[in-house]
Amino acid sequence: MLLFVGLGNPGAKHHGNRHNVGFHAVDAIARRHGFSPWRRRFHGETAEGSLGGLRVVLLKPHTFMNESGQAVQDAARFFKFGEAEVTAFHDELELPPMKLRVKVGGGIAGHNGLRSISAHLGNEYRRVRIGIGHPGLKDRVHGYVLSDYAKAELPAVAALCDLIAEHAALLAEGRDASFQNKVHLGMQAKGFGLTEDGEGK
């Protein structure tokens, strides 16, 4: 049994924000794999289903990003999840837009949602890092992550979330490298690949 956590901020005004791409990823998983309807609990919303023959709980914390760890801790205690059973889907400034990387543990790179989870749960959980790019200047980061994706970016965001959902069973099975590769190749096939310098094409 696993816990997949999508990070974001609740409320309509934040729906399209770059910071909310984690919410969109787990929403796509729930839709594609016929998960149960979302229900309010653990300071957020959960949906349950299976991936790769394993039971998976999806969680969207409604505590706002900076307190995401409270919701994760509550769910982890209820289901008796350890760090190894938890995966966080989150926006990543240090990756080019639409690039994806999976890792276990490591630094939090200033991400307040990860900081909160690490404070409540420990640091050795898996992260699905979804690139949003960097605005270039540190003082622009706050406004950038809380701004909506540009209209031109939306098809690529939808394609990426669909591919995350399509191959989510690989994550459930612990086949992180295969998952990452399938998503990367899928984005290329859809015309949203990246060139060698990391720029979109």
Query: Any idea which residues carry the catalytic annotation?
Result: 19
51: left (phi over 0), alpha (psi -120 to 50) or beta: beta
Candidates 194, 191, 119; CA nearest to 159 is 191
Q: What are phi and psi of 114, to 5 degrees?
A: -65, -40
Query: How far, in Å, CA of 123 to CA of 105, rounded?
Result: 5
